[in-house]
Amino acid sequence: MSNQTTVTEFLLLGFSDVRELQILHVVVFLVIYLATLIGKLLIITAVALDPHLHTLMYFFLINMSILDLGSISAIVPKSMANSLLNTRSISYAGCIAQVFLFVFFAAANITLLIVMAYDRYIAICQPLDYDRVMNRDACVQMAASAWITGIIYSALHTGNIFRLPFYQLNVINQFFCEIPQLLKLTCSDSHLSEVGILGFSACLILSCFALIIVSYVHIFMTVLRIPSEQG
């Protein structure tokens, strides 16, 4: 191991080596990225400028829009730049940053979905308690907890993968730094780490999904029990 060179950069395979397809990839991704960027910025601007939208539900929607922008911005610009410049490289530090940011925004997004589901549950199933339970301070704390959860979850994953040694092998079979692909390049026995990551992620996602489903089941049941159209 002492004679092997430590990896200082990774190579992203991307989509194709054909120049025409690389340009097509840039154009398609640019259109998708700009559409997402404009859409999310319009939501943020509309909520910020319209006093009628200064409610807790739209406060969560702004947070969701920011997280969506961060999630796509962590991956797509680098992929487009590589295709445009006809290169595949991403620095070791850049790969760490990409993994951390993508996992952070994804985890915070899932957590915020739970908060938004709980907000709708209280509003529809317990409307008399809504102002007391979902006051402004509580909502700010819930939104902050979603961001903090994303940071902690991402730090655990990023630290777990980049504490492992990388030697010589640096070709990632993906257009961004993906944890399962990185685990394949490590020079240590990463089986337990990979199982731990997949198991922890699966449990978290399934738990979040179950909480969201339960909240909306209660919402639908409450709506169906309303005796009249006006009600």
* pLDDT tens-digit series, residues 163-188: 877 877 788 888 888 888 888 887 66
Residue 191, pLDDT > 60, answer no
pLDDT at 2: 46
Q: Is 123 domain-assigned?
A: yes
Q: Is 4 domain-assigned?
A: no
What are the backbone dihedrals phi and psi of residue 23, each rounded to the nearest 5 degrees, phi first? -65, -40
Query: What would the two tokens of residue 147 be?
Result: 């961001």
pLDDT at 1: 44
Domain that holds residue 59: 9-224
Q: Is 40 domain-assigned?
A: yes
Residue 8, pLDDT > 70, answer yes
Round the average pLDDT of the chain to a whole number and report it. 85
pLDDT at 160: 83
**3-class secondary structure, 227:** coil
| CA 143/CA 111 separation, integer angstroms | 9
| CA 92/CA 94 separation, integer angstroms | 5
Confidence of residue 54 (pLDDT cuts 50, 70, 90): confident
Confidence of residue 102 (pLDDT cuts 50, 70, 90): very high
Q: Is 159 domain-assigned?
A: yes
Domain total of the chain: 1
Q: Is 74 domain-assigned?
A: yes
Can you give the CATH number for the domain in which 182 is found? 1.20.1070.10
* DSSP letter assigned to residue 3: T
Query: What is the C-alpha end-to-end distance of the chain, expressed in Å?
Result: 72
* DSSP letter assigned to residue 223: H
| CA 182/CA 10 separation, integer angstroms | 10
Say what the pTM is. 0.84
